[in-house]
C-alpha cells in the first residue's frame, strides 16, 4: 500500500488586477476554512505539519496556497522583463481573490511574518468577509536589520544568502531537521522574490496609524509571536496588540520567526487552543 499523506495539491486559475495566474494550493480536512499564508521568499510547504494534523483537520479545512512567483505558482507571462514587487494592494487582492474563487465562507486567515502583517490589513478592510485572522510573528511595523541590496545580485547567491540571513531567526531548541527544512524553502526561492516581498514588508506596509481601526467584534484578531524572533520581536507584537482592542496576544516560548515549520510540535501547543476557541465561537 502506498503511504499517502492526507494532503491534496491542485492548481486554480484566477485573475488578479487583470493578470491571469495559475495558483498552486494544498488542502486537507473539512469544516471551517483556514487559509494559511507563507512567509516572504518561501512557499506553502511551511504549513505541511498543520495540513497533516488530524486534531486540526477534523474541524478545519486547511488550505495553503503559493503566492504567484512562489513555490509552484508560476510568475505571470513576461516575468523576465520586470522586477517582482509585492504591494499591500496586490497582496490583499490576491488573497481575497483566492478566497472568493474557492467560494470559502468566512475563512479564518492565518499568515506568518509578512503574512502576519497582511492579515491586519485584511481584518481592517475585509473583516466582514472573514471568520478571524491569526498573525504569526506579526506587527504593524518593525525595525529592519539588514540592507535588501544583498538579496538579488549576480555576485551573491540569492538562495544561499536568504537562507543564511534567516538561519538564526529560529529558537536554538528547534529540531535541526525542521530548521534546515525551513531554510530549504528560502534556498529555493526565485531570484529577487524575497527582495520583492520585502518591498511590501518594509516599504509599503507601515500600519502603525491603521491598526487601531480594526474592529475585533467583526473579525477576531489573534497574534502569536515566538520569544526568539528578533525580526518581529515580542515587543513589536505586544505594542501592536495594545492598539487593537479585543485582540489576543500570545508570546510563544522556545519558538522563533517560523513557528509552524521550525518546531511543529512546540507550535501545536499554542495554535490548538486558538483554533479551538475560534471553532467554539462559530458554534
Partner 1 sequence: MVEKLAELVNGNPSVVFRGRLVTTEVQILVGKDEYRIKIEEGRIAGVEEGPFLMRPCSITVRASAEAWGKFWQLYPPPGYQDIFAMTKKGEAEVSGDFRLLMQNLRYFKELLEAPRKLAKEGRHA
Say if CB 57 and CB 29 are below 8 A apart.
yes
Of the two residues 168 and 246, which places its CB atom closer to partner 1 in the complex? Answer: 168
Q: How far apart are CA 260 and CA 169, in angstroms?
A: 13
Q: How far apart are CA 268 and CA 42, in angstroms?
A: 21
Q: How far apart are CA 240 and CA 212, in angstroms?
A: 9
Angle between the 158-166 and 176-187 helix axes, to the nearest 10 degrees?
140
Of the two residues 199 and 230, which places its CB atom closer to partner 1 in the complex? Answer: 230
90 CB-near residues (< 8 Å, 6+ apart): 16, 17, 200
Of the two residues 17 and 167, which places its CB atom closer to partner 1 in the complex? Answer: 167
Question: In the set 172, 176, 177, 217, which binds partner 1 (CB under 8 A)?
Answer: 172
Of the two residues 94 and 142, which places its CB atom closer to partner 1 in the complex? Answer: 142
Task: Supply the minimum distance, in Å, between the C-beta of residue 152 and partner 1.
Answer: 12
Of the two residues 160 and 209, which places its CB atom closer to partner 1 in the complex? Answer: 160
Q: What is the DSSP string of 104-134?
A: -SS-EEEEETHHHHHHHHHHHHHGGG-SEEE
β-sheet with 32-37: strand ranges across? 8-16, 19-28, 60-65, 32-37, 108-112, 132-136, 221-226, 248-252
* CA angle (233 as vertex; 228, 239 as ends), nearest 5: 145
| 168 sits near partner 1 (criterion: CB under 8 A) | yes
Task: Supply the minimum distance, in Å, between the C-beta of residue 160 and partner 1.
Answer: 6
Write the interaction track for partner 1 spanning residues 128-167; mark x where CB under 8 A is met and - where it is not: ---------------x-xx---x----xxx--xx-xxx-x
The three-state (H, E, C) secondary structure of 80-106, written as one string? HHCCCCCCHHHHHHHHHHHHHHCCCCC
Write the interaction track for partner 1 spanning residues 61-80; mark x where CB under 8 A is met and - where it is not: --------------------
| 270 sits near partner 1 (criterion: CB under 8 A) | no
Of the two residues 48 and 179, which places its CB atom closer to partner 1 in the complex? Answer: 179
Site for partner 1 in 207-236 (CB under 8 A): 227-228, 230
| 258 sits near partner 1 (criterion: CB under 8 A) | no
| 272 sits near partner 1 (criterion: CB under 8 A) | no
| 180 sits near partner 1 (criterion: CB under 8 A) | no
Task: Supply the minimum distance, in Å, between the C-beta of residue 46 and partner 1.
Answer: 20
Say if CB 133 and CB 110 are below 8 A apart.
yes
State the number of binding residues for partner 1 (CB under 8 A).
22
Cell for 226? 515566538
Task: Give the CA distances from residue 232 to residues 57, 63, 64, in Å, rounded to whole numbers and listed in that order.
Answer: 28, 25, 22
Task: Supply the minimum distance, in Å, between the C-beta of residue 156 and partner 1.
Answer: 5
Of the two residues 79 and 146, which places its CB atom closer to partner 1 in the complex? Answer: 146
Of the two residues 5 and 253, which places its CB atom closer to partner 1 in the complex? Answer: 253
What residues line the site for partner 1 (CB under 8 A)?
Answer: 143, 145-146, 150, 155-157, 160-161, 163-165, 167-169, 171-173, 227-228, 230, 256
Amino acid at each position: 500500500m502506498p503511504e499517502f499523506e492526507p494532503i491534496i495539491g491542485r492548481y486554480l486559475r484566477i485573475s488578479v488586477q487583470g493578470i491571469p495566474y495559475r495558483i498552486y494550493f494544498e488542502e486537507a480536512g473539512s469544516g471551517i476554512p483556514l487559509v494559511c499564508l507563507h512567509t516572504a521568499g518561501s512557499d506553502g510547504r511551511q504549513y505541511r505539519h498543520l495540513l497533516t494534523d488530524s486534531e486540526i483537520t477534523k474541524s478545519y479545512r486547511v488550505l495553503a496556497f503559493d503566492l504567484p512567483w512562489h513555490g509552484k505558482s508560476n510568475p505571470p507571462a513576461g516575468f523576465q522583463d520586470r522586477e517582482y514587487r509585492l504591494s499591500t494592494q496586490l497582496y490583499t487582492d490576491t488573497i481575497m481573490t483566492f478566497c472568493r474563487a474557492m467560494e470559502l465562507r468566512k475563512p479564518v486567515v492565518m499568515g506568518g511574518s509578512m503574512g502576519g502583517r497582511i492579515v491586519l490589513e485584511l481584518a481592517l478592510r475585509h473583516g466582514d468577509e472573514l471568520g478571524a485572522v491569526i498573525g504569526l510573528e506579526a506587527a504593524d511595523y518593525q525595525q529592519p536589520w539588514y540592507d535588501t541590496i544583498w538579496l538579488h545580485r549576480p555576485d551573491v547567491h540569492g538562495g544561499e544568502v536568504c537562507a543564511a540571513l534567516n538561519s538564526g531567526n529560529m529558537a536554538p531548541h528547534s529540531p535541526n531537521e525542521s530548521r534546515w527544512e525551513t531554510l530549504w524553502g528560502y534556498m529555493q526561492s526565485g531570484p529577487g522574490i524575497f527582495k520583492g516581498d520585502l518591498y511590501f514588508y518594509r516599504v509599503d506596509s507601515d500600519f502603525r496609524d491603521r491598526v487601531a481601526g480594526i474592529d475585533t467584534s467583526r473579525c477576531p484578531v489573534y497574534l502569536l509571536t515566538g520569544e526568539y524572533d528578533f525580526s518581529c520581536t515580542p515587543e513589536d507584537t505586544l505594542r501592536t496588540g495594545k492598539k487593537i482592542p479585543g485582540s489576543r496576544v500570545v508570546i510563544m516560548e522556545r519558538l522563533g520567526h517560523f513557528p509552524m515549520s521550525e518546531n511543529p510540535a512546540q507550535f501545536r501547543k499554542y495554535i490548538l487552543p486558538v483554533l479551538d476557541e475560534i471553532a467554539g465561537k462559530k458554534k
